Structure 1
Amino acid sequence: MAISRRLFLHRVGAAGGSGAAFAAMRVMGLAGVAAAAAGPALGADAGRGRSVAILGGGIAGLVCAYELERAGFKVTLLEARDRLGGRNWTLRNGSKVEMVGEATQTVAFSEGLYMNAGPARIPSHHDGLLSYCRKLGVPLEVEINSSRSAYLLAEGSGGGKPVQMRQGVNDTRGHISELLAKAIRKGALDEELTAEDREKLLPFLRFYGDLDADMAFKGTERSGLLQVPGAADQFAMPRPPLPLRDLLANPQLPAILFEDNINMQATMFQPVGGMDRVVDGFERAIESPIVRNAEIVQIRARDGGVAVAWKDRASGAKNTLTADYAVITIPLALLAKLDTNFDTPVKRAIAAVPNDYSNKIGFDAPRFWERQQIYGGISFVGGETNLVWYPSNDLGAERGMLLACYGSGPPAEAFARRTLAEQAAIARGVVGRLHPGHEASLEKPVVVNWSKVPFNMGPWPRWPGSRGGQEGHFESPEYMLLNQPHGRVHFAGAHLSQTPGWQEGAIFSAQRAIAALTAQVREHALAAA
């Protein structure tokens, strides 16, 4: 006898628990990759008569509220800040930047300019986020993630002069192609290549590296022009190639492969007007109560539900919320400091995950870079500031927001210890090295040190056994433990995904928690029947 998918999942959940039900949903295409693209397949009455407290109004919390509300749950979302979005934070004229131990900054950008203090781009294969943008009516535009007119700031050799990205890419390719062609011709690769392979590979290397008839690299127009092709007999003249030795001495050379990273490949997108347009879309769509300025002070997990004590940061009033279930999206380093009654292994796992470091610095500036043929993209500079990121929106406008620092990890930790004025001055100086004479035109700096931002105190976690970072392969015991329900408490957030620096990770984690929670509800219902 044929049975429905819902009945099948009921039986799997009853036999093996929520983890087994979730695994079955993955196999059936109801979770995992398919879930990120289309959202979890939940009936409108899946949560009828059940309540859920969602702690934290970042992307994971918003996805949970949006989906669980539509599944019939009574949802209440508590957010400690006076805004939603978590790391999804866009700064505009008049925005306040409050950081622990620092004076409040008031953004004074020109009208229409904005700075995405957190996430600023959406890869085209992040189907979960793109799907919600479509559902929520969030218009998108292309984010120009790479420009061959941007620079590698060559430190050390070459007098510290910037190398245009197109020259770094194509001169390196040319030199390597020449070396490989020489090795093939000398028979150094005869054991690896057949005669037919060699016959096909040499012509490819000539094209790939733009080698001459003798298979030598003597420069290429791909690397840039000393003279552009013009009228009559004005022929194109390529730049002379940089020596391979100088290219290899440039510590920024690996950045020529930046756009080959799976999360950096064209086409990239951004919401029109700022990344927080995604947050606005969720807020418009969610009808359930959203309580801002609700600072969590205590969490008590019980057999029959969860009790959450919170303080209104505006009035100081103390309140308690009880619910049948809870989804906690609070960053782990902050959750570790709260009064909870979680089991000891869970508490230890939470406490074992410190936060990483990341900084951004933006300036209001005339678009001098566009007069240098840079329209969007990134110059890689290394050091404490790491890169200079040019805006993709409003090309040709008079002014733009130039991001003169986006650094993470140990260099960012040291940089954040400097005063805000020092940080801005260093970023300004790096722009001056890239674009001499234009550093004086940078105005109205805004510094964001994520390690000091209240209710985040870091951008993403440093999982035990990892070096931190926005992406990784996380499988520590702590990571695996916190990706499971603990009684009626479920944990979610980008920090519980394999891409903790991306909003897509928050969506994957949220949808996993939703699937586990709804399977748990069915399991409890069957047990009570």
Structure 2
Amino acid sequence: MTDSSRPGWATSRRGFLQRVGAVGGAGAALSAMGALGLVPSSASAATPPFRAPRASDFGLTGRGAGRVAVVGAGVAGLTAAYELDKAGYDVTVLDARPRIGGRSLTVRGGDTLTDLKGVTQHARFAPGQYFNAGPAMLPQWSVSTDYCRELGVPLEVFSISNTNTFVFDPNGPGRPRFQTAQADAYGVVAELLAKVTDQGGLDRQLTAADKERLLGFLKAMGDLGDDLAYREDPRRRGFAVNPGGAGSPGTPLPRRGSLDRVFSEQLLRHWYLDANFDMASTLLQPVGGMDRIVEALAERIGRGRIRCGVEVTAITDGPRGIRLTYRGVASGVLDVDYCIVTTPPLVAARIAGLPAEVTALLGGFMAEFPGKIGLEYRSRWWEDDFAIYGGLTSYGADGSLWYPSYDHHRERGVMVAYFERAETTVQGLPPARRSAEAVHRNVRVHGPKARTELASSLSVMWGLEPFVEGGWQAADTQNNGAVNTPRFRPLTDPSGRVFFAGDWLSNMLGWQHGSMVSARQAVEKLHARVLAA
């Protein structure tokens, strides 16, 4: 799913969609060293410039733009079709699913979803409420935001890291606010490092000037006193009763617990949600739902050029063109000059007629199976009772609870329960029991209103979504880097008339940005082939 449903992320981000976080202590140390100028900072790589095809490109060649079929009406497919349409190509988009968007799925009241097991759910969300079942956020640097500007899709802030949310360990006591847990961890780390430094433990690594700078930084970072002890100032940690008028200075929270509480595994999962460049604040979202992007693309392409409910079963690549065989709401063949396949690789591997080496590469991708459950509530009790506006509370090793970042102080709202490895928890359950598990988690964190105020729910298990069959599909377990190797050239630099695109062929797996830059790359290569033909 892209841009991300994934917070929980792996090293590639994968979003929640893989492990929410990094190691807090190491991260704090690296931050401190970076601030001291002792380690180099990494700059985010710029997206290579894209030269969109133009109708004028054909002026000196005497050629026409030709006909192109795009298989898949997800973000990659619609982006490719949109860019080709600008240059005058006759584009037809075919998608086996009944609606456009692929994993960019926004569910509203009245929608109906049927999974691979034949289980049907009817969304009963109130008017104006929606559930982004796939991508949830856009990095501000991404091509996705560029397309929103170009297409006129308005954006608003998506809050991922919120210090007022909870650090909840289902196997441990308490539920400190993230602000408190983070302040205690910074304070203890700073105190330990400051005392080691002051006692000469780093004299062989630091000059006297560096040592002085480090101690000054640690005092500020950890709120240390002159004795280098963590002071546990409530203005860092928060209050049990907030300060008020004269005579009401506020009631401090209980003092921090033992080190095993301070350095809890759950804090490590919650820490630094926005530390990596792909998740860095400020994150954004389209106003009114993530599907605003694909709907805007479809409008520009022309709805009449997009056929949903049509599964491509075979692609025959010949010296003069491509024949696609399809079935579904209609059956037949489509003859075109070129084709771009953007469906998930494990689904594309089932298309007959592709070269054996291509099919083998497609079939070698690995799917992961996150799930999301939209919980609509009759009141926004998380705002009223806990003063939480956006962000998330992590829950154990496999999930989190997301608070909506829009429509604050309105009557209703949709929270999201995210399951990173849904196949091991809720994917095999019927929808009602999935909802019950999500509500159970919510009640454990927030109390009974998480049950009594529930109005409706709907779950999307991406491993069970027809013609998607996974939240994302990776070439390897290390940032999808294998797609940069010569072994994948049959997909990234095909010799025939069939091209491929998707986040699975990018270095931003699971993000709409990855889908879009991969689509642009395929469009550039197809266009160059047409001009040179």
Other structure's SS at 2:316 match: strand
Amino acid aligned to 1:448: V
Say yes or no: does 1:209 pair with 2:222.
Answer: yes
Match of 1:33 in 2: 47
Report the Cα distance in structure 1 between the residues aligned to 2:228 and 2:489, rounded to whole angstroms.
53
Q: Residues 290-301 of structure 1: matches in 2 within 5 Å?
A: 290-301=306-317
Mapping 1:73-88, distance limit 5 Å: 73-88=89-104
Partner in structure 1 of residue 64 of structure 2: 48
Is 1:523 aligned to residue 524 of structure 2?
no
CA contact (8 A) 2:480 2:504 kept: no
- Alpha carbons 1:352, 1:478 under 8 Å: kept: no
Moved more, 106-115 or 73-82: 73-82
Aligned match of 1:232:
246
Q: How many Å apart are 1:230 and its aligned residue?
A: 2.1
Structure 1 counterpart of 2:82: 66
Distance 1:353 1:284, change over 3 A: same
Give the aligned partner of residue 417 of structure 1: 428
CA RMSD of aligned residues (A): 2.0
Q: Is 1:44–1:72's contact at 8 Å kept on the other side of the alignment?
A: no
State the match for 2:141 in structure 1: 125
Query: Residue deviations 1:31-69, cap 9 Å, x none?
Result: 981446xx6254544472411111111111111111111
What percent of counterpart residues are identical? Answer: 33
Deviation per CA, 1:165-199: give whole Å up to 9, x if none. 11121111011000000100111111111111111
What letter matches 1:150 in structure 2? T
Match among 203, 222, 233 for residue 236 of structure 2: 222
Distance in 2 separating the partners of 1:251 and 1:149: 15
The aligned residue for residue 187 of structure 2 is 174
Instruction: Decide which of 92, 99, 109 is 2:125's aligned counterpart.
Output: 109
TM-score, structure 2 normalization: 0.85
1:102 to partner: Cα distance? 4.4
Closer, same or farther: CA 408–280 of 1 in aligned 2, 3 Å: same
Cα distance in 2 between the residues matched to 1:392 and 1:483: 37
Contact 1:459 1:501 in 2 (8 A): yes
SS in 2 for 1:216: coil
| Counterpart AA for 1:91 | V
Aligned residue-pair number? 478
Alpha-carbon distance, 1:502 to partner: 0.6
Give me the whole-angstrom Cα distance separating, in 1, the residues matched to 2:397 and 2:46: 38
Which residue of structure 2 aligns with residue 267 of structure 1?
A: 282
Q: Check conservation: 1:32, 1:508, Cα contact below 8 A.
A: no
Amino acid at match of 2:77: G
1:373 maps to what in 2?
A: 387
Residues 1:252 and 1:198: Cα distance change in structure 2 (over 3 Å): closer
Deviation at 1:451, TM superposition (A): 0.6
Classify the secondary structure of the residue corresponding to 2:293: helix
Three-state SS of the structure 1 residue aligned to 2:481 is coil
Task: Tell me whether 1:150 sits opposite 2:165 in the alignment.
Answer: yes
Report the TM-score when normalising by structure 1.
0.86
Report the alpha carbon displacement of residue 462 of structure 1 after superposing the two structures with TM: 3.3
Matches within 5 A, 1:417-496: 417-440=428-451, 441-463=453-475, 465-466=476-477, 472-475=480-483, 479-496=488-505
Change (3 A) 1:338 1:186: same
8 Å Cα contact 1:252/1:381 also seen in 2: no
Deviations along 1:50-91, one digit per CA (max 9) or x if unpaired, are: 111111111111111111111121211112222111111100
The amino acid across from 1:426 in the alignment is E
Contact 2:474 2:504 in 1 (8 A): no
What SS does the corresponding residue of 2:92 show, helix, strand or coil? Answer: strand
**SS in structure 1 at match of 2:315:** strand
2: CA distance between counterparts of 1:281 and 1:455?
Answer: 23
CA offsets per residue over residues 368-398 of structure 1, 9 Å max, x none? 10021100110011244x0000001100011
Separation in 2, partners of 1:295, 1:477: 30
Structure 2 residue aligned with 1:382: 396
Partner of 1:3: none
Amino acid at match of 1:296: V
Question: Is 2:400 the counterpart of 1:391?
Answer: no
Q: Establish whether residue 506 from structure 1 lines up as the match of residue 512 from structure 2.
A: no
In the other structure, the counterpart of 2:36 is none
Where structure 2 has 5 or more consecutive residues not aligned to the other structure, the ranges are 1-44
**8 Å CA contact retained: 1:171, 1:242:** no
Write the distance in 1 (CA, Å) between the matches of 2:56 and 2:526. 15
List aligned pairs for 1:282-293, cutoff 5 A: 282-287=297-302, 289-293=305-309
Please state whether the residue corresponding to 1:81 is helix, strand or coil: coil
- State the shift of 1:478 in Å: 5.3
Quote the Cα distance in structure 1 between the aligned partners of 2:486 and 2:462: 26
Give me the whole-angstrom Cα distance separating, in 2, the residues matched to 1:483 and 1:229: 60
Task: For 1:325-364, list aligned pairs within 5 A.
Answer: 325-340=338-353, 342-364=354-376
Which residue identity lines up with residue 135 of structure 1 in the other structure?
E
Structure 1's 382 and 42: CA in aligned 2 closer, same or farther, altered over 3 A? farther
Matching residue of 1:23? none
The answer to whether the 8 A contact 1:168-1:253 is kept is: no
1:16 is aligned to: none
Q: Distance in 2 between matches of 1:101 and 1:86?
A: 18
Report the residue type matching 1:258 in the other structure: L
Q: CA deviation at 1:356?
A: 1.6
Q: Residue 22 of structure 2 aligns with which residue?
A: none
- Superposed CA offset, 1:202-256 (max 9, x none): 1211111111221101312222113322222322444223433212233342321
For the structure 1 residues 116 and 271, does the alpha-carbon distance in structure 2 shift closer, same or farther, using more than 3 Å as the test?
A: same
Q: Which amino acid aligns with 2:450?
A: E
Inter-CA distance 65–42: structure 2 relative to 1 (3 Å threshold): same
How far residue 430 of structure 1 moved from its aligned partner, in angstroms, is 0.7
Work out the CA distance in 2 between the residues paired with 1:419 and 1:108.
17
Distance 1:483-1:191 versus aligned 2 partners, 3 A rule: same
Please state how far the C-alpha of 1:353 moved relative to its aligned partner: 1.6
Partner of 1:303: 319
Residue 401 of structure 1 aligns to which amino acid in structure 2?
V
